[in-house]
Structure 1
Amino acid sequence: MKRLLLSVIFTFFACSLYSQTKPGKMKLNAGIITAKLAESKKFYTETLGFGVTFENDFYLLLHTPDKGAEISFLLPEHASQQPLFKTAFDGKGVYLTLEVAKVDEIYQQLKARGVAIKIDIRDEPWGDRHFAIQDPNGLGIDIVTYSAR
């Protein structure tokens, strides 16, 4: 957990430094260190429709169906990586949010395919309608349609 926190702090520092030296567009790619590369690829491509941007024997980069965002997966303890990027994610303390246009349709499709729903679909007082599933690494994935309230 300490390493994950250090990684997040480093990322924010690097992004801050980058934005000061090169104004303009910035792209975020969240990365998960995990031994479950094959399971992650199968889940994200088959369950959520992601595409493969790049992969090799120790790294997997996936993109959302519209190619608007990416997520990567890296094998732990890989010889090519520095110590900061070697410790596997423990499955706690991180979540992803996928904003979709029609959350009810996605919910019905995933439920019909037998995907385990961790939080049933519901409306929140602030206007969101959402449900949650979980990836093979323990990441909670909140699938939401935002309401203009």
Structure 2
Amino acid sequence: MSVRRVVPNLPSAAPEGNRAFYGLLGLEEVMNHGWIMTLASPEVPAAQISFMAADPTAPVAPDLSVEVDDVDAVYAAVRESGAEIVHPLRDEEWGVRRFFVRDPGGRVVNVLGHR
């Protein structure tokens, strides 16, 4: 299993303001589903930050997202560890397979893979 990227998910009710502010730092919008917007560095595309109003299919909004190469293997390992699964493994309509798990500090981690 390998990690492809780690993205902080910050709550935001003002995505336009965030786009403008972080644009001053060189980040550009690379994804916008209306409820989540991701900005990235054009030179280092894995350097990203997301702003989220709410998650439409999960019970909570995650604190960060970790993209992995084999989400099913990670899900099996996390379940075996006994960690709390907050949102079960599922395929989402926007093209990701994901689940949420709570880390030891209480943060909710969105673990995902692109289909």
TM-score by length of 1: 0.39
The answer to which structure has the higher strand fraction is 2
The answer to which structure has the higher helix fraction is 1
TM-score by length of 2: 0.48
Which of 1 and 2 has higher RCO (CA within 8 Å, sep 6+)? 2
